[in-house]
Amino acid sequence: MLQKAIWIVRSGVFRMAVGIPYYVQIFSVPDQRCGIVRPTFSGLRAPQPCYPATKVFAVIYPAITYTMGSQPAGVSLSGYAEEGLFYAVLATVIAGSLIGLISVLARGNDPMSIAMQVAGCLYAYYVTQVPLTATLLNSYGLVWLIAPLAAMRALAWMTSIILRK
């Protein structure tokens, strides 16, 4: 019983780290790389046949065949699995730059700045879990976090112009 409890705690603590050696080993071979992950836009096109997180999960846990699992990895490791070292560095620079830009835009204490801070925190979390294109375009991506904030900012600007007249 104690050994099972230790295993459960250890699995929770090292959940993300367990996949790192597998990602490096599997995707060091260029033929194994999956290509840049594209959003599926349900109904418009079939899902990508190779997805790094599910490919690694199948190698880590070969006995689990009753379901498809996922071993998440951050933008840098996912980028390596998608297109190699150069893309991994590029994806990391892009994600870091976006986090920096959001931080600059969220400097105030007004409600819009606080909402932008929350969007930035959410985006930073997803950067640690999924590939770059997913952090931007999937249903939880940055586009969908920023779009309502940009719309509110535009409405506030238009309202201020109308009220001045």
pLDDT per position as a tens digit, 73-87: 999 999 999 999 999
Say what the pLDDT of residue 48 is. 67
Domain residue limits at 124:
2-164
For 41-65, the pLDDT digits (tens) are 665 666 667 889 899 999 988 998 8
Instruction: Name the more confident of 140 and 41.
Output: 140
For 4-46, the pLDDT digits (tens) are 888 778 777 777 778 889 999 999 999 999 888 777 666 566 6
Of all residues in the chain, what percent carry a pLDDT higher than 90?
35
Query: What single-letter amino acid sits at 164?
Result: R
Percent helix, strand and coil across the chain, each to the nearest 5: 65, 0, 35
Tokens of 103: 């931080």
Q: What is the pTM of this model?
A: 0.80
Going 70 to 73 to 77 to 80, the CA torsion angle's sign is positive
Distance, in Å, from the CA atom of 164 to the CA atom of 145, rounded to the nearest integer, reads: 30
What total number of domains does the chain contain?
Answer: 1
Residue 42: burial class (beta carbons within 10 Å; 0-12, 13-18, 19+): exposed
